[in-house]
A and B are shown apart, each in its own frame.
Chain A
Amino acid sequence: MVAEFAAIETRDLTKIYPGFWKSQQVQALTNLNLRVRQGEIFGLLGPNGSGKTTAIKLLLGLINATSGEALVMGQQAGDQDTRRRLGYLPEESYLYRFLNARQTMDFYARLFNMNRSQRRQAVDYYLDFVGLDPAVRGRRIGTYSKGQTRRVALAQALLNNPDLVIMDEPTSGLDPVGMLEIKNMILRLKAAGKTVLLSSHQLADVEDVCDRLVILYRGRVELEGALNDLLEVKDVFQLEARRVSPELQAKLVEMTKAGGAEDIQTGRPRVRLEDLFKRLVDAKRRGEPMAVSTRR
């Protein structure tokens, strides 16, 4: 894909939520300058209330900017034709409680003017894609668990095969397996040439998938750049190996000390609890006992 324009570009985007008194006003976003290239996974990080959702809503044209400008796919934010190529997963799954998963998907498919056969195809394809249990698809969404609802919300975001997917805290409300699935899915989207903007305060999510990111704090960008640049600890060297005997360990420590290195630390790496949990669920699904933790 030729990237003749940025997928998302904002210039001094500012949002002040109005209040009756001046003291009730909230400056949710201040002079945000973003540039998301086509085909990358971009992370929008920040603690609660730092303005991530506000930025996303501005990009979708759901709310009006106080000042500044936002371009999505080269068009003003909120442009109706641009929204055709957009997928949006809201922070919480705001879906009609009285519709079931299929009706919900059918409704959103109609908003993209899909015809009957396209709709029927897309609905089941994406519900399979997000792994929603077929048994619950005919039930009203009001009766779903949070994770099931989240999956429907995700399916509706992908329904139109969008070029740009905006996900607001995609992993919230999902179990670790679901989280991992989502992360894999995001990587697959990238492989298919899509652009993904995701916001999160779950740093692990971002770390695993993002190419570049910004960190917001109180509506201002505090840090921005490529993930690898930002995370690399420039003054530490790390070595990992299998079958290291205690003698070899001692020797290595000696050698590094002799070479003038400081703050030497050794030990066994730990897997993350996420991996452990994933292996447990995988093993249970296959009906096997779980093995001890090793590095694959």
Chain B
Amino acid sequence: MNHHPGFDYIALCAYALIGILVVAFVLLAFRDVGRLRTGIFRSWAIGRTTIAEAWNARIWAIVPIWFLICLIISLLVRPYSAASQVEIYLTILLRAQLVMLLVYLGILACVSLPRERERRTLITTGSKPISRLELLLGKVIGICAAGLAMLVLMTAITWGFMAVINMHIEHDAAVLYAHEKRSYNSLVRRIPPEPGIRYTAQHGVLQAQNYYTGTLRIAGLINYQTNPPERALKGGSSETLYFDFPSLPAQFVSPPVFLFRFVVLRMNTGAKPNTPAQQAAMLQPVKIHVTAVLRDNPMMTAQQSLTLNPSGTVEWRPKQWTNFFSLYEPATGQLYDPGPVLLKVTCPTLGAYLFFGDGTQAQPAACLALNLDRSRVPAGMMIPKPDPVITGFKSNNKQEIVGPSYSHPGIPAEVASFEFAHLPDRRIPIGKHGNFTVHLFLSVDKQENEALPAIADITAFTLADPTHPIRMQLRFAEKHLTVLKLPKSLLDQSPLVINIQSNYPGHWIKLTQNSVQIVRPPSPFIVNLAKSEFIIFCEMVLLVVIGVTASTRLGWPVAMLTTMVCYVLGNLFHFVYKLMILGGFGLYGPYIDSKMKGLWYYQIGSFITAVMVKMLYALVRLMPDFTRFDPLHDIVISRNLPWIVPTVDAGWTLACALPILALGYLLLRKQELA
């Protein structure tokens, strides 16, 4: 996920609102909460009755309907390999579960309370010793329990279905293996049968491979301190460094001067400088390109290309500062605050690495200072510090390292360093020869030396004993899994480090966080399926809570609409987030004639669109993000799901459900039941 550059005051407002809700709930509900020790039984009684209602509304029908739909779809699709067959079936079965359960339970949640009000059963129930909190919880518990029962049924059916498919695949693999072996033995076939087929015949395709993924760091020179500098802006790449000033109060700003200060590392580009022009370019000083944007009005920009001094510093004095960094009001003769200012920095110089910090550390991490007229800053007032964020690397989640240089033999090749902590707790299986297995997924981009094979230099050591590393060279194939065996002596208390370097100049190895993984014991399919189903359940719980809350005061049609809107907004988080970062839409398009900017109706229009985008963002911020956990992601690809995902999801669901429940309680607290 991208981090919004800078201070997200809208999110802060949203969180503050949620906080107020929770506080109000705690203050007003403490008696009812105190009663919950016995009240939970009363809630469960209401829940049971709600289950009976759901059963009476034929909730069970969604199971056969779901399975029928899945059967029809799976008969229509024709997967072309066993692995993709499993992938597709799982996708269909789980996605259909999610859709059908969410739709049905959303409706049920919205209808349940209003229907009791319409049929006036709430009058009888309300005369019994139950609190409104117990009533609300009872409804949520009941509907969730009904959904859970359906989910368990669907899980069992999914498991059975996949087991049957798996049996077929195993059988086919066994037949194929036997055939290939016979042909090989009778010399009809030259190639021995592939061991993968035998593995499939023996173990099927449902068993989950589990991995342990370490943390990835990339640097020209590895140093194992966690202080900054840790990340560098990579020259010649699309990486962009953002510095966001939450506000530049107008009264402080005399002609502003921005001071950029980086720790510069010049490294091999990998490309052999062929032409004199290229050679000259290698020796040229490092350039940066700076763009300043007004966050509230992205049409207001100032740009400048700057050349860093040999010490890595450069000053920037924006020319149009009066109408940009602090707006001048001719009528009153005063300057006023134009809102947050965003500085984007890119580095066009290939082979340069600019290390940065947030300006709070001493050298070498310092990077940016703002020249304010300090005489005008009131005592005790904090001058805003920029918040640096780098994008480009994170959005693609990809990084490259390049091999050694011809032209600068002294500079070592770039290193990708994977660090694995707490290994003894991970139950890493040890093979017959006392080795454990590491899987590498590497891909290579050969800009030179195309004829040479792709080779990675591997160095593995524990941080306790870095002086005796295990070194090896590994030949790997593009987009194929490479297996590496390492001795179990490396599974130490101190972290294991696996460093990768590209062996040949001009070979760029592309890496992601998951490129180096330690193999853990396989886990049974049913467990991983249950984990995925749990994520569906969590999503369902959230929707039910929203539905019940919406229906406390609204009639069922409006409650349904509200719930639907909430769900859609909860799915839009990333979209709206992007909109905010890019500065909104509508009149903010980049193709507007600059003459138009001065027109009053343009300004009103752009003001309105800005407000609308921000309101949308604020609304989205108030909703739980439904896309955060995907029940399909891991199980479809690797048949597994790390325990951390359902665990975090459970906590996250609770954290999101609590404020919504609090709202529901506050709405229901004084509601007349008759």
Binding site for B on A (CB under 8 A): 57, 60-64, 80-81, 83-84, 86, 88, 90, 92, 94-99, 103, 107-108, 110-113, 153, 156
Contact = CB atoms under 8 A, between A and B. Distances in A.
Contact of B49 (A60, A81, A99, A156): A99
Nearest to B672: A63
A16 to B, nearest CB: 13
Contacts of B124: 88, 90, 94-95, 108, 153, 156
Contacts of B49: 96, 99, 107
A81 to B, nearest CB: 7
B53 A95 contact: no
Interface residues of B, number: 29
Given A64-B670, A103-B52, A111-B45, A92 B129 contact: no
Contacts of B672: 62-64
Contacts of A62: 123, 126-127, 672-674
Interface in B117-145: 119-131
B134 to A, nearest CB: 9
A83 B35 contact: no
A31 B40 CA distance: 38
Contacts of B289: none
Contact of A113 (B42, B48, B56, B122): B42
Contacts of A95: 121, 124
B284 interface: no
Given A63-B673, A96-B53, 5 more contacts: A88-B124, A94-B121, A94-B124, A95-B124, A112-B128
Given A64-B672, A86-B127, A88-B127, A107 B121 contact: no
Interface in B630-674: 670, 672-674
A128 B41 CA distance: 26
Contact of B42 (A60, A88, A92, A110): A110
A143 B467 CA distance: 85
Nearest to B125: A111
15 contacts: A60-B127, A62-B123, A62-B127, A80-B35, A80-B131, A90-B120, A94-B120, A94-B122, A95-B121, A97-B119, A107-B45, A107-B48, A110-B44, A111-B42, A112-B129
B49 to A, nearest CB: 5
B38 interface: yes
Contacts of A86: 127
Contacts of B125: 111
Nearest to A99: B52
A26 to B, nearest CB: 14
A110 B45 contact: yes
Contacts of A57: 123, 674
Interface in B32-64: 35, 38, 41-42, 44-46, 48-49, 52-53, 56
Contacts of B670: 64
A84 B121 contact: no
Contacts of B41: 110, 113
Nearest to B55: A98
Closest 5 CB pairs of A and B: A110-B45, A98-B56, A88-B127, A111-B128, A94-B120
A94 B672 CA distance: 16
B53 A80 contact: no
A83 B121 contact: no
Nearest to A88: B127
Contacts of B131: 80
A80 B52 contact: no
A224 B90 CA distance: 74
Contacts of A96: 49, 52-53, 121
B126 A94 contact: no
A83 B123 contact: no
A13 to B, nearest CB: 15
Interface string B200-244: 000000000000000000000000000000000000000000000
Which of the listed residues A62, A103, A111, A156 has the most CB atoms from chain B within 10 Å of its own CB? Answer: A111
Given A110-B41, A111-B42, A156-B124, A98 B129 contact: no
Contacts of B53: 96, 98
A113 B38 contact: yes
Nearest to A59: B127
A115 B183 CA distance: 72
A80 B42 CA distance: 12
Contacts of A83: 127-129
Interface in B1-58: 35, 38, 41-42, 44-46, 48-49, 52-53, 56
B55 to A, nearest CB: 8
